[in-house]
Amino acid sequence: MAEQNTTGAGGGGVSGYDPQKVEAKWQKRWAEARVFESEADPSKPKYYTLEMLPYPSGTPHMGHVRNYTIGDVVARVKRMRGFNVLHPMGWDAFGLPAENAAIKNSTHPRTWTNNNIAEFQKVLRRFGFSYDWRREISTCEPEYYRWNQWFFLRMLERGLAYRKKSRVNWCPKCCTVLANEQVINGGHCWRHEDTLVESREIEQWFLKTTAYSDQLLDDLKQLEGTWPERVIVMQENWIGKSQGAKVKFAVADLAGAEPIEIFTTRIDTIYGSTAVILAPAHPLVTRLLKGSAMRVEAEGKLAKMRQASVKAEDLATMEKEGFFTGWYAVNPFNNEKIPIWVGNFVLMEYGTGAIMAVPAHDQRDLEFCRKYGLAVRVVVQPPEGEPLEAEKMTTAFDEHMQGKLVNSGPYNGLSPLDAIAKMTAFAEQKVFGRGETIFRLKDWGISRQRYWGTPIPVVYCAKDGIVAVPDSDLPVILPQDVKLTGEGGSLLASTPEFVNTICPKCGGPARRETDTMDTFVDSSWYFYRYCDAHNDKAPFDSAKVNYWFPIDQYIGGIEHAILHLLYSRFWCKVMRDLGLIKHAEPVARLFTQGMVLRGGVAMSKSRGNVVGGEEMAQKYGADTGRLYTLFAAPPEKDLEWSEESIEGSWRFLNRVYRLIERHAEALANVGNFDFGRSAVSEKERELIRKTYQTLQRVTSDFETRWHFNSAIALIMELTNEIYAQEPLEEGVRPEVRREILEMATLMLAPMTPHLAEELWEMLGHSDGLWNAKWPYLGVEQVQLSQNVEVEIPVQVNGRVRGRVKVAAGAGEEEVLKLALADPGVAHHANGKRIVKKIFVPDRLLNLVVS
């Protein structure tokens, strides 16, 4: 006992607790007994709990450990509660960092990725997370990504995957497309800081997320209460539904010109529109400028605007700029001619890329019209106060729930809401407009001009055009034998063995698509694959998925609140419409945990503030690391890493170990405590009560509140109480001692599973704790958990002036009598009249005196 312990912590022999030995031992036993392997079984209640799959870069740090520990506690508690638990892990293995690292270290992305996966796996196993490792997936393996391709083909068949020209950030040095976050310093390439990024139009593949706009929005309602509100709000904003109308304004005096279609949510203000404003990128702009007197001047301004729009980041603070095209549009409601302008604040990507400016009732329009001296006309008067005067307005009146229309011909006197209905109907009847709902949500561009991703399974044939690769030819395998240099554009495009192929239709020569898929494709459906990870006939067996889904608890970072979760929801709906699954939403309950910070910022390799999981496991053991990440802060909050505090968790586990070590031998062959029959001594009663009360509160902290930190505090308190009652041999029978120590062990099990197993064994159990159930209290036990005597604080005018000890359940009169005898209470209450008494049984007595 108490020899040198082998950990570095504290530097000396604390107890016989040797986490390295204990943890290795139980991890081996769990693996041998296949404890965490589960199968779909409709006769059992299921629980699918999942942590977001990691991108394996480098080695896991304590941020990862915290995330997976939270998930592991949930999985283990549910197992102890009798659920058939699915708890898998895998790797988000495609992506740009692997390519960059490969270029830097002249290796292959696969080598770099697989090394990292091995490292991650080692550390995750070291922490004893209860994963079913048989279900492990790696998204860069053909066995996985062939199903990305398969899904893509199904979407292609249904018109949900299509090709279109789209504007991208292009670095002429990299010869490739850059993501928005790779455009830095006001439009320069992140790798070539002296190179200006160009805006180019290239053909790209898109998935039609917009086909599901309404469902993606409406189904958020199902998630209320089980998803964090802010995630729901972020998704709502992202989808950005907007109800309004599209209206066509003819261009006056320009033969053959298409009318300009504008989008507005306030068709009721159309009599107040004093200009039509086009986005700089609007196709009509060039045409209008051709015949314009101000052509030269205008083209200069236009070029400046179009270039400026590349710098997305300072768009928000930009001054409103614009110019007159020299042409006029005709308001279809009153046939008034209004000038056509170009304005930098009108976005081509939203609505129709053209607006009607109603300066009196839209702040942006007002600013623009004031700047350029355009007319302002009031068409809605507010219900009270001074009537608006166009000349004096500095703030637009944009309330649409109140007011009455003026200066609006036949619509005068209507409320804006009535006017919207009537005017939309009129526009539809006259066929120059219609009511329409538009969304901010755009289709999902999935093309990436990169190597390390899923090849898009189509070929281009001179004769047959775009031809889908047949299912029987899947997967289209990423060529392994390539050399990455980072120069010269798409690597796949310059690999002839990959590019050159034959057309599946005509057998003639054809070229393969060389774009690969966005890695968000991989993560959009990976959790389905876990249900049937090695199926080589289909992405998964629907029966298995229908058993396990939806995911009961999904745990991950807030950074995935929009894209990953939105794409996953989209994918789910597509799969449902393909008949593969039954549910409409993949994730029943979502939890977003806080980050682990060091020096106030998230741990990251580039900042050099990482605390490695491996390092902590070596120094303190996995259980201490797990316990600390749970204890230091509630799981939803950020956690500032502290090397000093973790010592406290280490000390606590040693304290528990020593306690049970001291009693184990004497208790190994002792039977269970008989709650009903045997009378208990005062000391026994007190210990049992404390134990059961702790259990009740810990259970609620685990199940309903997720307050792991206070659950641990409660178990610490219990441990302190037991120590305070030592030596237990005096006055506490062995079977009672056993009851108390076993309960403490079981309560720790989800958080520090290795230690708990060891203690369980020391207490004489030959079958593992993994077979044990979470303890429920029987009727007699609940009775024992109740207090016999309570101390009731007595307040006088809301301030505590004394306390009285009474039997639990004592009545008001008895408590009052004792209270008045208390010197502190008497001092404040004597000689005064008691106006009111508030008595809460077993909790409080408050005397209001005058």
Site for RNA in 705-744 (CB under 7 A): 707, 709-710, 712-713, 716-717, 720, 723-724
Is residue 452 within 8 Å of residue 479, measured between CB atoms? no
Dist CA 251 CA 10 (whole Å):
82
CA dihedral 328, 332, 333, 336 (to 10 degrees): 20
What is the smallest separation between the CB atom of 814 and RNA, expressed in angstroms? 18
Q: How far is the CB of 528 from RNA (least distance, A)?
A: 27
Site for RNA in 363-422 (CB under 7 A): 364
Among 310, 375, 467, 848, indicate the residue that binds RNA (CB under 7 A). Answer: 848
Contact call for residue 353 and RNA (CB under 7 A): yes
- In angstroms, how far is CA 850 from the centroid of its own chain? 56
List own/partner pairs for 535-543 with CB under 8 A and 24 or more apart.
Answer: 536/143, 539/147, 539/150, 539/151, 539/580, 540/580, 542/580, 542/581, 543/40
Binding of residue 642 to RNA (CB under 7 A):
yes
- Single residue of 133, 350, 372, 460 touching RNA by CB under 7 A: 350
Four-point Cα dihedral 730, 736, 739, 743, nearest 10: -50
Q: Is 514 in the site for RNA (CB under 7 A)?
A: no
When binding is defined by CB under 7 A, the residue of 11, 373, 496, 676 that contacts RNA is 11
Binding track over 663-702 against RNA, x by CB under 7 A: ----------------------------------------
Q: What is the DSSP letter of 180?
A: G
What is the CB neighbour count within 10 angstroms for residue 313?
12
Binding to RNA, residues 312-331 (CB under 7 A): 315-316, 318-320
Instruction: Identify which of residues 407 and 846 has a Cβ nearer to RNA in the complex.
Output: 846
Q: If binding is defined by CB under 7 A, does position 229 make contact with RNA?
A: yes
Where b means 16+ CB within 10 Å and e means fewer, 176-208 reads bbbeeebbeeebbbbbeeeeebeeeeeebbbbb
**Minimum distance from CB of 751 to RNA (Å)?**
13
Asked if the bond preceding 475 is cis, omega within 30° of 0, the reply is yes
Considering beta carbons, is residue 580 or 698 the nearer one to RNA? 698
| 632 is a contact residue toward RNA (CB under 7 A) | yes
Binding flag, residue 179, RNA (CB under 7 A): no
For RNA, the closer of residues 98 and 281 by Cβ is 281
Of 156 and 712, nearer to RNA (C-beta) is 712
Contact, 373 vs 333, CB < 8 A?
no
- How much is the CA Rg of the chain, to the nearest whole Å? 35
Cα angle 493, 498, 499; round to 5:
50
SS3 341: strand
**Which of 351, 453, 457, 753 contacts RNA by CB under 7 A?**
351
Among 18, 51, 92, 362, binds RNA (CB under 7 A): 362
Taking the C-alpha atoms of residue 147 and residue 625, their distance in angstroms, rounded to an integer, is 38
Of the candidate spans 6-14, 136-144, 148-156, 764-772, the one that interacts with RNA by CB under 7 A turns out to be 6-14
Could you tell me which stretch among 183-191, 523-531, 564-572, 650-658 binds RNA (CB under 7 A)? 650-658
The answer to whether 623 and 586 are in contact (CB under 8 A) is no
Question: Do residues 328 and 253 touch, judged by C-beta distance below 8 A?
Answer: yes
Pairing relationship of beta strands 46-51 and 84-86 according to DSSP bridges: parallel
Q: Least distance in Å: CB of 502 to RNA? A: 44
Could you tell me how many residues of this chain bind RNA (CB under 7 A)?
85
Strand, helix or coil for residue 361: helix
Residues numbered 802 to 831 that lie near RNA (CB under 7 A) are 803, 824, 827-828
Rule CB under 7 A: say whether 644 interacts with RNA: yes
Contact flag: residue 244 with RNA (CB under 7 A)? yes
Q: Partners of 242 in the beta sheet?
A: 438
149 vs 235, which CB is nearer to RNA? Answer: 235
Burial 710-723 (b: 16+ CB within 10 A, else e): ebbebbbebbebbe
Q: Which of residues 14-33 bind RNA (CB under 7 A)?
A: 14
Cβ within 8 Å of residue 821, ≥6 positions away: none
Structure token pair of residue 541: 């067996």
The window from 348-356, 457-465, 469-477, 813-821 that contacts RNA (CB under 7 A) reads 348-356
Q: Which stretch binds RNA (CB under 7 A): 150-158, 566-574, 603-611, 798-806?
A: 798-806
In whole angstroms, the minimum distance from the beta carbon of 825 to RNA comes to 9
- Among 103, 310, 797, 810, indicate the residue that binds RNA (CB under 7 A): 797
Nearest to 796 by CA among 841, 834, 755: 834
Candidate segments 164-172, 344-352, 516-524, 574-582, binder of RNA by CB under 7 A? 344-352
Contact range with RNA by CB under 7 A, out of 211-219, 526-534, 547-555, 636-644 = 636-644
Question: Is residue 648 near RNA by the rule CB under 7 A?
Answer: yes
Q: List phi, psi (to 5°) of 287.
A: -60, -45
CA–CA gap between residue 284 and residue 327 (Å, rounded): 11
**DSSP codes of every residue in 706-745:** --HHHHHHHHHHHHHHHHHT--TTTT--HHHHHHHHHHHH
Smallest separation, CB 349 to RNA (Å): 7
- Which position among 44, 163, 440, 511 is part of the footprint of RNA (CB under 7 A)? 440
Record the tokens describing residue 686, joined without a space.
Answer: 């007190």
| Residue in 94, 263, 547, 692 binding RNA, rule: CB under 7 A | 263
Give SS3 for 491: coil
Interface with RNA in residues 752-791 (CB under 7 A) = 791
Q: Could you say whether residue 593 binds RNA (CB under 7 A)?
A: no
Residues in the chain: 850
| Interface with RNA (CB under 7 A), residue from 392, 534, 537, 799 | 799
Minimum CB distance to RNA smaller for 299 or for 640: 640
Query: Which of 638, 686, 735, 812 lies at the binding interface for RNA (CB under 7 A)?
Result: 638
- Assess 844 for contact with RNA (CB under 7 A): yes
**Looking at 132-140, 160-168, 236-244, 617-625, which segment touches RNA (CB under 7 A)?**
236-244
Site string for RNA, 536-575 (x = CB under 7 A): ----------------------x---x-------------
In 440-541, the DSSP E strands lie at 444-445, 447-448, 458-461, 465-468, 500-502, 509-512, 516-517
Q: Is 800 in the site for RNA (CB under 7 A)?
A: yes
- 468 or 849, CB closer to RNA? 849
- Asked if 662 interacts with RNA (CB under 7 A), we say no
HEC assignment per residue over 71-136: HHHHHHHHHHCCCEEECCCEECCCCHHHHHHHHHHCCCHHHHHHHHHHHHHHHHHHCCCCCCHHHC
The nearer residue to RNA, 482 or 844, going by C-beta atoms, is 844
Binding mask 187-226 for RNA (x = CB under 7 A): ----------------------------------------
Residue (of 345, 56, 309) closest to 183 by Cα position: 309
Task: Pick the binder of RNA from 202, 506, 788, 838 (CB under 7 A).
Answer: 838
Q: Among 233, 466, 538, 821, which residue sits at the site for RNA (rule: CB under 7 A)?
A: 233
Identify residues 265-294 at the interface with RNA (CB under 7 A): 265-266, 279
DSSP conformation letters of 272-340: G--EEEE-TT-THHHHHHHT-TTHHHHHHHHHHHHHHTT-GGGTTTPPP-EEEEEEEEE-TTT--EEEE
Window of 199-207, 261-269, 462-470, 583-591 that interacts with RNA by CB under 7 A: 261-269
411 vs 650, beta carbon nearer RNA: 650
Residue from 4, 6, 8, 13 touching RNA (CB under 7 A): that is 13
